[in-house]
Structure 1
């Protein structure tokens, strides 16, 4: 394995006592994207965004074929992480969390890559479990639940996996994870494995059947379909797939997060958006303002996963969340920071300061 990339910032990203009044930062290195979010808490229990960054790195490119992260994919991810580290040097931080998910969980060289990235950037990156990934998604999306909701079914269609979280509404707006399942099927893995099969009705249908079979097993364990028929269950989705469906359903000339996040989308409108996307074909997807060339190959595999969820758990509407692990990490850190001090229970606190 090549030597870690030299990065002067690595020497300056060292653990420090919490910076009073500093910002909170979260980094999510996924199978397809590297994302950074920096924020400060507000009195309403939410946060104000100070900085954000997102870069398509395709870390999981080729993983389905040989079980390893390729050198090119690792270099792209390292470059994005170094950009994140440089951004964090510009402000004092109160706390920082940096995680990576399915690609590094699956890859034979995933742990070695994380060690290399830590040495290159100074960032405290760690591989999180599928359960923690589901919990963080729940943490970010739980504020979208309403008082009448007894339960929520949250799906997160990622690059390397799909997480399904079955959630119970708790007191004071808190949410509890009843159960979860992580399918090793995401938009990147399906696109690479299936090639262009999702562009044909037959190929699309085969993917829907495969995913639905996995979901049906989870449904049998928790009787989710029966609970949904009884009422009081909110279907929520967080991922590029469901936000794209919302953008198309609303006929947006370009994607707009304020118009999408928290939107309750009628299921018929979502179904029509799926049909519209399918009819566009590959070149039409590349030209669509809510898709674009970088995401064109991943939209229909994601739509196939959504269609399987729709088949197993019919619902009259879906709540669309343009939020994910980064937001969940920020909210978790801020909640823990407000709690009474328990030194042994606190994760490591980090502050980034430029060298004198």
Structure 2
């Protein structure tokens, strides 16, 4: 079995391990080569990483020991199921622990499993992908809420890629540890919790309320638990099956009414943990954290103006599975991709932008990408991001010529461009940043925000953009085409030019430093012909 932090998967059996704040959950699926899957196995174990992570911001040795042992068992289960690949990822508890990376190094060394740490906005984006796919893309405008142990993810949009991807530190376990010390909860504790939740929801609520949503999906165990409790209590409106939503996997998800969520939040706040544990639908862990979780659910629905929620069964794990399978299947770009390129060009026109230069550099960069696939091993989605980064790479000129590559990074990563997630903008910004001057380094703060997989993407895409920009150093589009030829342990880059390309030869050779460092091959630009 091959162990990956994120790589291609398709006609194979894929195991995905979700290391959450409270549980480790493994799902094994068969990919069919068309970007969809069938589940064949599942295993879950209680971890309770959040007990330590959110209290001390560190994972003690006994917790790390338990994590290593759990992942060893998960790997053994994946082997028993015949998995070809194992993809492991971690969320907020490990992400925020000061020793989280050290613990994951132990996991890698002792359990033999590398673990990818997902940023919060990636959690939101992948959860949205899962919900949109499960609804079979039938909702023109989709809003997704997910309350985990450490965070609340909110994602929304009208296409496959969300326009809103937010992760707020409003997880049920986190808030329980911070605010609730009494059993039953003290009214003052609950009041402080509500004030805190509303203070974080407020800025996002304006953006969410600005649109009407065709479907609102709740994807987390917190919401599904509230649905089960509503069914168990006679005086709480039960989730409606008649209004349910039929998904791609044949299951019909019930709809939970906002009134029921409000009533449950009030009722649960007056009960002890022992009393909650006797209600059908609760296990011990959920009984401990559901008061805070129900408060977040009720307040989010109120703040966002939501009347009902579809209790969708697919969430983060399924989103990650879908992305891996689709990357391997080579799913072709949709109409959304063409609209995204238009959105990028519209955005660049707000700035002092040499459109002819940037379009030409984008074309040269894509040509280099297509001719070096055996070197970089990247996919169609990466090619798309290279195109956009090339179009955007010089927007920093509008701030100043000096340090313009850094200004471009700042503008891109903080931009609001329709159809792009915060994560995509961060990757594109880093690619644009490295089109000139310094190479990627550990002390570059925006580069270190990325995990190792994304850093590799940035280095390789940045290497291609850097050479392409050198090919049009004078902004006169003298070099019309390039061809890549491997020879004598290096690469000849032959320039087809309409005039003597002296500056292009010099600049592209100067800009080959990142290419040579990343691919381990010297690059030799040569003039093929002069018109």
TM-score normalized by structure 1?
0.80
> How many Å apart are 1:110 and its aligned residue?
0.5
Task: Give the distance between the partners of 1:294 and 1:18, measured in 2 at CA.
Answer: 35
Task: Give the distance between the partners of 1:290 and 1:241, measured in 2 at CA.
Answer: 11
Task: Give the distance between the partners of 2:8 and 2:196, measured in 1 at CA.
Answer: 48
Within 5 Å, which residues of 2 pair with 1:44-83?
Answer: 46-83=36-73
Within 5 Å, which residues of 2 pair with 1:76-91?
Answer: 76-91=66-81
For residues 91 and 130 of structure 1, do their structure 2 counterparts lie closer, same or farther at Cα, with a shift above 3 Å needed? same
Task: Give the distance between the partners of 1:91 and 1:330, measured in 2 at CA.
Answer: 17
* Post-superposition CA distance 1:45-93 (Å, at most 9, x none): 6422111111110112222332211222222222221111101222443
> How many Å apart are 1:163 and its aligned residue?
1.5
Please say if 1:299 is aligned against 2:290: yes
Match of 2:211 in 1: 227
Q: State the 4+ residue runs in structure 1 displaced beyond 6 angstroms.
A: 17-20, 258-261, 340-343
> How many Å apart are 1:261 and its aligned residue?
6.7
Match of 1:211 among 197, 222, 229: 197
* Post-superposition CA distance 1:148-197 (Å, at most 9, x none): 633222121111222111x2222xxxx22112222223122212112335
Which shifted more, 78-87 or 89-98?
89-98
> How many Å apart are 1:140 and its aligned residue?
1.5
Are the counterparts in 2 of residues 277 and 285 from structure 1 also a CA contact under 8 Å?
A: yes
Are the counterparts in 1 of residues 59 and 97 from structure 2 also a CA contact under 8 Å?
A: yes
> How many Å apart are 1:18 and its aligned residue?
8.4
> How many Å apart are 1:44 and its aligned residue?
8.5
Please say if 1:250 is aligned against 2:222: no
* Post-superposition CA distance 1:249-291 (Å, at most 9, x none): 22399xxxx9997222222233333344334431111222311
Across the two proteins, how many residue pairs are aligned to each other? 322
Question: Which residues of structure 2 form unaligned runs of 5+?
Answer: 235-248, 333-372, 380-452, 455-531
Please say if 1:111 is aligned against 2:101: yes
For residues 345 and 96 of structure 1, do their structure 2 counterparts lie closer, same or farther at Cα, with a shift above 3 Å needed? farther
Match of 1:338 among 318, 329, 336: 329
SS at match of 1:142: helix
Are the counterparts in 1 of residues 2 and 85 from structure 2 also a CA contact under 8 Å?
A: no
Match of 2:219 among 228, 238, 244: 238
Match of 1:134 among 110, 120, 124: 124
For residues 158 and 261 of structure 1, do their structure 2 counterparts lie closer, same or farther at Cα, with a shift above 3 Å needed? farther
For residues 239 and 340 of structure 1, do their structure 2 counterparts lie closer, same or farther at Cα, with a shift above 3 Å needed? closer
Task: Give the distance between the partners of 1:184 and 1:261, measured in 2 at CA.
Answer: 30
Please say if 1:323 is aligned against 2:304: no
Question: Which residues of structure 1 form unaligned runs of 5+?
Answer: 1-11, 349-356
Structural RMSD (CA): 3.1
> How many Å apart are 1:145 and its aligned residue?
3.9
SS at match of 1:345: coil
TM-score normalized by structure 2?
0.55
Match of 1:5 in 2: none
Task: Give the distance between the partners of 1:201 and 1:182, measured in 2 at CA.
Answer: 27
> How many Å apart are 1:112 and its aligned residue?
0.4
Task: Give the distance between the partners of 1:259 and 1:298, measured in 2 at CA.
Answer: 31
SS at match of 2:282: coil
Within 5 Å, which residues of 2 pair with 1:187-206?
Answer: 187-196=172-181, 199-206=185-192
Task: Give the distance between the partners of 1:295 and 1:236, measured in 2 at CA.
Answer: 20
For residues 65 and 276 of structure 1, do their structure 2 counterparts lie closer, same or farther at Cα, with a shift above 3 Å needed? closer
Task: Give the distance between the partners of 2:9 and 2:33, measured in 1 at CA.
Answer: 19
> How many Å apart are 1:235 and its aligned residue?
2.2
For residues 44 and 81 of structure 1, do their structure 2 counterparts lie closer, same or farther at Cα, with a shift above 3 Å needed? same
Higher Cα radius of gyration: 2
> How many Å apart are 1:38 and its aligned residue?
0.3
Are the counterparts in 1 of residues 154 and 165 from structure 2 also a CA contact under 8 Å?
A: yes
Task: Give the distance between the partners of 2:123 and 2:222, measured in 1 at CA.
Answer: 18
Task: Give the distance between the partners of 2:316 and 2:10, measured in 1 at CA.
Answer: 25
> How many Å apart are 1:23 and its aligned residue?
0.5
* Post-superposition CA distance 1:17-59 (Å, at most 9, x none): 9899530111110111111000113599642211111111011
User: Per chain length, whose mean CA-contact separation is higher, i.e. which structure has more relative contact order (CA < 8 Å, sep 6+)?
Assistant: 1
SS at match of 1:55: strand
SS at match of 1:62: helix
For residues 14 and 104 of structure 1, do their structure 2 counterparts lie closer, same or farther at Cα, with a shift above 3 Å needed? closer
Match of 1:169 among 146, 152, 158: 158
Match of 2:303 in 1: 312
